Structure formats: C-alpha cells, structure tokens
Amino acid sequence: MDSENGTDPRVVGIQQKARKYDTKRSMNLFKKTKRIIPTGASSLMRTSSWDPYPLYINKGKGTRIWDADGNEYTDFLMAFGPVINGHANDKINAAVRKFLRNGSIFGAPNELEYKLAREFKKFVTTQDMVIFSLSGSDATFNALRIARAATGKDMILKFEGHYHGLHDYAAVSVEAPAPISGLRWFPKSLPYSAGIPPSVMDTVVVASWNDLESLTKILRIRGNEIAAIIMEPVMANSTVISPEGDYLKAVRELADEYNILLVFDEVITGFRVSEGGAQKLYGVTPDLSAWAKALGNGYPISAIAGKKEYMELIGNGVGYGGTYYASPLSMAASLANLKLLEADDFAAYSHLGRITRRMARGIEDIADNLNENIWVNYETGVLAFVFTEQKKIRNYRESVNMDWNKYKAIQQKMLQKGFYYHPDGAERLPPSVAHTEDDVDRFLVALEESIKEYNKEN
C-alpha cells in the first residue's frame, strides 16, 4: 500500500496506463487490410468479436506483447494456447536458428523427426505410435480417416460445442442455436459453415456432452454405423468444462461395446493439463488422439497418436502426407519446447497448476467481494470465467446462458489496463509457464476494478 494516499500502487500504475491508451494504427491497419483480405485476417477468430476492430500485434517476449501502436499488454491469450513457454523463448528460438543455418525444408526424412517422436513418447506414454502433421484440423481429419478405415464404417459421432477444426466432418454443431438444435438427448446435426455438402452432414451424428443418457440412446439407434466418437476430453471452446465423474470411462466402455474407435482431441489439452494430456489426467486411454498447440510453442505442428494396430494402417491402405508435415524447423522448435517442459521431472506443470489455481481462486474471491454471479472452471493451464447466474455448467447448451455483452465490455476495459485476452466469453484463458504470480495478481486487481467500473456505468 502507498503510505501517503492508502492506495494499491499496482492500481495506480494501471490507471495511468489506461489514460494513455491509443490504438489508431490498429484501426487504420484493419481498414486497409479488409480491402484485400476477407474479414481483415486469415483466421476468423482473429477478428471475430473484436469490436470495432482487432489489435494488430507486432512483437512478444515472455508474457508480454506489444501492438502496432506500441501499447504493452500482459498476454493471457497466448495465441489461443500454443505459447506454453512464453513468447520468443530464447532456447526454442536458438534451436530453430541452429537448424536454419543448414536449410529449412528438404522434402525428405530428417533425424529430428525421430528425436521428436521419441521425446513425444516420454510425455504421451498411453499411445503406441505417433506421426506428425501441420495443424489441429489436419490431425483430427486424419484421425477420423484412420478410424473409418479401421472399422469399415462411415459415420462419426461428435458433441455439441466441441471444436475439432474447420474440415467438413468437424464443422458440425460447433454452434447450435435453439430451437433448431433439436432435443437435448438427440441434437440435430447443424453445419457450422456454408458450403458443407448434405452428404457429409448425413455422416455426422451429434450428442450432448457430459450426458451419458444422450450418448447411450443414440448408440442404441446408430451405434453399429459409427466408426469413431471424437471429443475434447475437457471442453475448451465453450468455456472450460470438465468431464463429470466417470463420464470419460463410461464413454470408453460404450465405444468398446459398439466396436467404435474413441478419438480424443487433445489439440488444446495436450502438453497443457498434464504432461500426458487429459488422457493421463483422467486415466482413460483413447484409440487415437490429436495433438497440436502447446506441442510447438507457436511453431506450426500437430500430431496423431494412437494404438499400433490403427496407426500402422497409414501406408497400408490409408493415405497420409503433406509438404509441410514434420517441417524440420517445427521439429527443432518442438523438441526444444518439450525438453523445457520435461526438465526437473516435469516441474513446469507444478508451476502452471499453481498459476492457474491462483487465477481461478482470485476470480472467485472477486465474485464474493463484489457479490457478482461469476462461474469459474479450470484445469491446469486452461481457465474460463463467465458472468452467469448458473451455479454449474456441464455442456454447450448451458454454456451459452451467459452475459456475453458484460464479458466483452469488461475485456475492453482490461485492454486499456494492459491485459490481453479474447472478447468472446466462450474462449479460454490459457496461462503459460512463463506467467508469474505477479502477472496473475495484477490481472486480478485490474479485473476487480474493471467490474466495478462497468457496474457503476450500468
């Protein structure tokens, strides 16, 4: 506390930063970019919900990023989750520079691919084999293809609100507005985008997640037609929602009963909620799994891992490949990244767990102090909070019942105070190993002030 005026010096600093806040260059860049790039960016989530324009980020270091106008932020988006060891990590960048002296890509096998696969297995001990690709969408798409080949069946079962990329078989019921979404126990399959053929939609069945009754009933009707059940083992695209009780174990048993391959989409949870992903955290082993984001600390890479009998179908009937799959530069970065996470018997995850808990409990304390209705949920390395009167959120349909406008308005205030995260309340906050307790405490001070300001104005 400041002995002269009785104020918290962190709050004073934040308020001073807010008074100087200007983002005109980002505004002008957005106007110019939209003329030649649809929506102004090459990924919709970079512009969606950012009103009236997104911030253009020029550089980052550790937990800090700087926008085109020179404003500094503590980053709690971390590129939607990949940057688990902080921006511009010196050891990771050094590994890339070392390889870059010899070239960048050769269209041939490289020793780093073997080394990374071996390192991957130190983390993901539940899967027999691994193969690399470029993006999370690549990984889920190929996993589903393997499942179809292995079972001789064509249909896929996914869950409302689960996001598995933007290929046609994944872009189903990512959003499911009522009343067209159908019954709770048997939701209707809805296209997430125009341009998806009806024939594709006919091969995707949708269920309600965390609802064993829904899944059981659907499998009784369609189970013998379904090749794969794909899910996020922890929902992280409709806030953060954990599986209840033995739900994952029960899904595993149902998949076995109907000769269905269970596919875990660990694109977000992998190398984040534990060193072995959600499948280690919850003790349930899928047949196949997809990995990406935190594997490369921001370098483009993904992976498919699974049981040997299914993985060995690749090259034995199942096609696979891409020019940039297993790019040596991404191999070098990912290997260095995993070495950092592995150090001192995976000590990074203890730190990441403490940081995440501190943030979650701090937000809960703010809710108590201000008598606010805030729901908070987290797993190590991934957290969400929403303004809602609900005491619990179990699935997508419950997650949408939040005050979206309040969340966005408070996020805008947080930007002015120097804290960066996404304005969409369904998105997660994925802290990194680089974040400190001070980063979290300053975030909490700013959040409480922002909520007070919003309430005073409204």
Distances (CA, A) of 449 to 75, 126, 366: 18, 45, 10
State yes or no: pLDDT of 5 exceeds 70. Answer: no
Residues 9-58 have pLDDT tens digits of 444 444 444 447 999 999 999 999 999 999 999 999 999 999 999 999 99
Q: What CATH number matches the domain at 90-341, 3.40.640.10, 3.90.1150.50, 2.60.40.10, 3.30.420.250?
A: 3.40.640.10
pLDDT tens for each residue of 354-405: 999 999 999 999 999 999 999 999 999 999 999 999 999 999 999 999 999 9
Active site residues: 163, 265, 293
Judged against a pLDDT cut of 50, whether residue 344 lies above it is answered with: yes
- Spans of all domains in the chain: 9-87+346-457, 90-341
Question: Mean pLDDT over residues 134-150, rounded?
Answer: 98
Cα–Cα distance, 449 to 456 (Å, whole number): 11
The reply to whether domains 9-87+346-457 and 90-341 share a CATH topology is no
- Residue 195, judged by CB atoms within 10 A of its CB (0-12, 13-18, 19+), counts as exposed
DSSP string, 103-119: -S--SS--HHHHHHHHH
* CA 203 – CA 169 distance, rounded (Å): 8
Which of these CATH numbers, 3.30.1300.30, 3.90.1150.10, 3.40.718.10, 3.90.226.10, describes 9-87+346-457?
3.90.1150.10
Contacts of 221 (CB under 8 A, 6+ apart): none
Helix segments in 186-226, DSSP class H: 198-201, 212-222
pLDDT tens-digit series, residues 51-88: 999 999 999 999 999 999 999 999 999 999 999 999 99
**Tokens of residue 333, six digits:** 């970065």
Residues 6+ apart with CB under 8 A from 415: 21, 55, 73
Paired residues of 302 in beta bridges:
133
